[in-house]
Structure 1
Amino acid sequence: MIILYTFINEEKHKSVLDRYLPVFSDDTKRDILRYRRWQDAQLSLLGKILLREGLRTHYDISDAEIRVSPNNKPYLKGNPVHFNISHSKDLVACVIAEFPVGIDVEFFDTSINYLDFEFQMTTEEFEKINGAEDRISSFFTYWTAKEAVIKAHGDGMMIPLDSFEVSNKEGVVNGEKFFIKDIFIDKNYCSCIASKDININNVVPLITYVEIS
């Protein structure tokens, strides 16, 4: 398993678009250029660049064809390698693994009012957050874990966050158990990966920063 990450940069935006957009399909180009904010366009593009770089460098895959499942989860056609992309604020990260996996990264915003998200948590989760010494840190730990599980599951927004509980680094969604692993990418972000494959508990991902020039 590898996790590649990078940060957006406004000064490099035009050069990044000019250099990398031509390597992608016309549909991908249109999707990226449709964004009104440069931040959103660059985050989308960088996620695809990280995936392309990771597949080429670490898995010797240079001609991957990305398809989208009926529940809108991207996958590699005819290839057993799995991936997932997440971004928040200035950070974008891409995980690539030999088994289905989800990743979530969240900017550690200390000004957030965690009470506004009580309805997204189960009663037990919220009680643990509210009783924690560092409530904001506890909130983001639960939030990224639940988001990573949802992304690993693949049904996305069809699964309400409060419909399942995270406990002891596990979560069960519609009868399927998911294993959860905290990871460190950057001190300003909370990060987590999840998978139905229990091997995620033992794997030590190679986490690499990629400089996009």
Structure 2
Amino acid sequence: MAIVNCGNIDNVSWQNEPDTYQLHNTVHVYSITISESLHLLTLADTLLSEAEHKRANSYYQQKDRERFIISRVALRQLLGKYLSQAPQNIVFSIVNNKKPYIQSATQPIHYNVSHSGDQILIAISHYEVGIDVEHIHPDFDYEEIIPTCFSALEAAQIRSSNDPRHTFYLLWTRKEALLKATAKGVDDDLISIPSLHGVHEVGFTHVDWVVRSFVIGDGYVGSVGYCLEFETIAYYHLL
């Protein structure tokens, strides 16, 4: 049996970009505010692949196209710095479990991307990593999906919380981050994915995991899932 350790990180200090792009035993989390990053759209023609251009053009809504382009440009720029490669030369591929990886990587490096509302989060690590961000929608009827996605204990925690809506989104991001880190599909049994604060024994993985949750400005919550052997998380705001 493996364990999953869930908890919060209070008062996250978002720093500017690092001086050197070395991971060591640290997970790097980047926050990107879409409305402040529209300048990245001008780099699309230079940095994105033909497949990425095709995918961008498949989005009907302009905001969805812009979000995709900004996230891919930022991802390529960041990975290029970690790998000492030109961003446009990075080659992505997909493994059998549909998790993306960097075919052109010269060293072990993993990444994960999530977006919601005006926020994008990118996590980069030497080992598998998963990240999720959610905008806390004031009108979303979360009660409707609690029975199919949360255990009885989790449902009780949400409903007894001082802020049930915030707690719902917090626990949801933990489940999503862990699913993405372990490469379990979103169709897997969400109820069996632990999200409550504390240590849980699980049978779906042989690796011990940590899931840490944090607040990103007003109205957003995020969680990152990573291997227990990593000791720290560094948080950066990409300008």
CA contact (8 A) 1:10 1:38 kept: no
Alignment of 1:39-58 (within 5 A): 39-58=63-82
Q: 2:218 aligns with which of 182, 187, 192?
A: 187
TM-score, structure 1 length as denominator?
Answer: 0.85
Supply the distance in 1 between the matched residues of 2:129 and 2:85 (Cα, whole angstroms).
Answer: 18
Cα pair distance change 1:168/1:10, threshold 3 Å: closer
Deviations 1:54-77 (A, max 9, x none): 123345343432111112111112
1:130 aligns with 159
| Structure 2 residue 47 is the aligned partner of structure 1 residue 19 | no
1:109 aligns with 137
1:139 aligns with 168
CA contact (8 A) 2:213 2:222 kept: yes
- In terms of mean alpha carbon deviation, does 34-43 or 138-147 score higher? 34-43
Give the CA deviation at 1:17.
4.2
Query: Of the two structures, which has the highest relative contact order with CA contacts closer than 8 Å and spacing of 6 or more?
Result: 2
CA contact (8 A) 2:129 2:224 kept: yes
Supply the distance in 2 between the matched residues of 1:46 and 1:25 (Cα, whole angstroms).
Answer: 14
1:72 aligns with 98
Supply the distance in 2 between the matched residues of 1:144 and 1:21 (Cα, whole angstroms).
Answer: 33
Supply the distance in 2 between the matched residues of 1:132 and 1:170 (Cα, whole angstroms).
Answer: 20
CA contact (8 A) 1:6 1:209 kept: yes
1:3 aligns with 29
The one-letter code sitting in structure 1 at the alignment partner of 2:189 is: P
CA contact (8 A) 1:170 1:179 kept: no
Give the CA deviation at 1:159.
1.7
Supply the distance in 2 between the matched residues of 1:91 and 1:11 (Cα, whole angstroms).
Answer: 10
Q: Name the structure with the higher helix share.
A: 1
Q: Please state whether the residue corresponding to 1:96 is helix, strand or coil.
A: strand
The one-letter code sitting in structure 2 at the alignment partner of 1:158 is: D
1:90 aligns with 118
Alignment of 1:147-186 (within 5 A): 147-170=176-199, 172=202, 174-176=204-206, 177-186=208-217
Supply the distance in 1 between the matched residues of 2:60 and 2:203 (Cα, whole angstroms).
Answer: 35
RMSD, aligned CA: 2.3
Give the CA deviation at 1:184.
3.5
Unpaired runs of at least 5, structure 1: none
TM-score, structure 2 length as denominator?
Answer: 0.77
Supply the distance in 2 between the matched residues of 1:53 and 1:209 (Cα, whole angstroms).
Answer: 11
CA contact (8 A) 2:29 2:233 kept: no
Q: Please state whether the residue corresponding to 2:232 is helix, strand or coil.
A: coil
Cα pair distance change 1:76/1:11, threshold 3 Å: closer
Deviations 1:38-57 (A, max 9, x none): 12112211221121121233
Give the CA deviation at 1:83.
0.2
The one-letter code sitting in structure 2 at the alignment partner of 1:44 is: F
Give the CA deviation at 1:158.
3.2
